Structure 1
């Protein structure tokens, strides 16, 4: 072979670099974006669960008149279902960036919509009991907390979009992660204040009028133990609230408070908010560790500290859907809450304790009449 037949070194180097680049892109295109093999059973179960909750709320939007609550919960749980759809689609292609972005973005922002629906319930509860038990006007809670929730959604969405774009282009995702971190932090601060105002409100409904309650009763003592019993609604606490405390509440909405589920409603709302709160704290720690962190690289933590908690929140509000709690015709709109007028059904509902007292009075009255009749007969 002559020297003229030997390929120049520069040509060989160019071919080598080109071949290496092609192989590198080929390997990157096949990389597992999740960093582990997705658990098929867990992801399919949560996809089915969130789809069920979303379908339930879609059906209820046509049966009930709770528009704001229904829209928020539908958006929240549809996003949860879409997030897990992205993960299920990732079974066959775990290097697909669209599937990864779908699950990451949807699962991040979905709880913010759920909390927006819960925030409005606070204003409704204040209206049902009375303004005097609240630190703020009823609708102020909705304005403040829903406003911060919307801000949180935009910030998280912007951060998620930046992270997805950077990841697609092979660039650093640190800025997008930081923005998402700030968005979830805003949500945590909002929920913290919500819980503070919420538990103060409940405490006032339990103890504000205790000195005006006649007679002796163990629940007149302001203590953590009594607070817990009244919140959990054990039988004796329920009787105390319905017989002794209810006369101090807004009389216009007595029929709502006497509904069977309403006595347990504060407990249901409290549990749901605490579950979402724990989830948000988990997400902050997860983002702080980064994509290579321990939490994000182990799927079990996503299942336990995110999806399971949000699913439990959705399941709580199946039996405690506002339509079941307040009644189908007792719709508390923002206009009604502002004006202090809520259209309620005219049916007067008596609690079992009052019915028992009436029966006891009727029995005593009948006995007195019988004794009087017997006394006259002996004359």
Structure 2
């Protein structure tokens, strides 16, 4: 798409004409490129070493999108009038966290097996299939919305707005899915507490270990931070690109960057294979 601002520079046009009305902080965005790049390497190494293919496949695309999104913000620092730079930032950072949600959904099914299927309301694979399917639908909506927004012609605000609205719908569905997931995960935790005895004695020592508690707390924290971030993104897009929320870098750094960083730290430090070992893949 060629926009009327594509020929603008910081010397010839006011910043108010740019796609974001501020210059992204360069050191902060370079830090996040390096941070998510490091997490990508760690996740790849752990995934290959322990052969946790499904978990790795869920995490890596999201991490790569995070890296690309912050590269887009670095490029916006140099040229905030370039639509492609803006799209790289917007679409990549919007899509990325949905993959981390999928990794969490995969973990719940395994957790049910470790405690015993008889305790759960649903079969382990039901949780995984249900929520990963919801995540996939959310991703499709966000991707379609991003594609429409990126293909809108100059001045075609109708198609651009349609694309943004579809992205909002995808994000809103992601928020709803996460909320339902948290309710069902909490309900399963309540059932575990009420159950006098686990039905799976193979993992008794694991369940009593401190590292297992760390794993569960990390999953809970990652879920909450992704939820907070997703609510923020819905509010940001709902207000439009010219809104105060969409043009406040501090809000974005706190409610987007920090929340997703915490989630990725949790999902890496408490990597399921580190906690469970090579048996994770066979659960």
**TM-score in terms of structure 1 length:** 0.68
SS for the counterpart of 1:196 is helix
Count of equivalent residues: 273
SS for the counterpart of 1:33 is coil
Aligned to 2:186: 199
Aligned to 2:92: 106
1:261-296 CA deviation, whole Å, 9 max, x = no partner? 112222111111011001111111111111111110
Bigger RCO of structures 1 and 2 (CA < 8 A, at least 6 apart): 2
Is residue 2:13 matched to residue 1:35? Answer: no
Shift of 1:175: 0.9
5+ residue gaps, structure 1, are 1-22, 210-246, 334-341, 343-379
Aligned to 1:313: 263
Is residue 2:97 matched to residue 1:79? Answer: no
Aligned to 2:117: 131
Residues in 1 aligned to 2:155 and 2:249: alpha-carbon distance in whole angstroms: 23
1:282 alignment partner, one of 232, 235, 246 = 232
Shift of 1:26: 4.3
Q: Is the contact between residue 156 and residue 184 of structure 1 (CA under 8 Å) also seen in structure 2? A: yes
Q: Is the contact between residue 124 and residue 332 of structure 1 (CA under 8 Å) also seen in structure 2? A: no
Segment of structure 1 superposing worse, 97-106 or 256-265: 256-265
5+ residue gaps, structure 2, are none
2:176 alignment partner, one of 189, 197, 203 = 189
Aligned to 1:59: 45
1:29-76 CA deviation, whole Å, 9 max, x = no partner? 965222212211221121121111111111112211211111111111
Higher radius of gyration, 1 or 2: 1
RMSD: 1.9
The 1:155–1:87 alpha-carbon spacing in structure 2 relative to 1, beyond 3 Å, is: same
Residues in 1 aligned to 2:31 and 2:127: alpha-carbon distance in whole angstroms: 35
Aligned to 2:156: 171
Residues in 2 aligned to 1:25 and 1:47: alpha-carbon distance in whole angstroms: 25
SS for the counterpart of 2:246 is coil
Residues in 2 aligned to 1:330 and 1:255: alpha-carbon distance in whole angstroms: 14
Aligned to 2:106: 120
Aligned to 1:242: none
The 1:91–1:193 alpha-carbon spacing in structure 2 relative to 1, beyond 3 Å, is: same
Residues in 2 aligned to 1:202 and 1:138: alpha-carbon distance in whole angstroms: 14
Residues in 2 aligned to 1:117 and 1:25: alpha-carbon distance in whole angstroms: 38
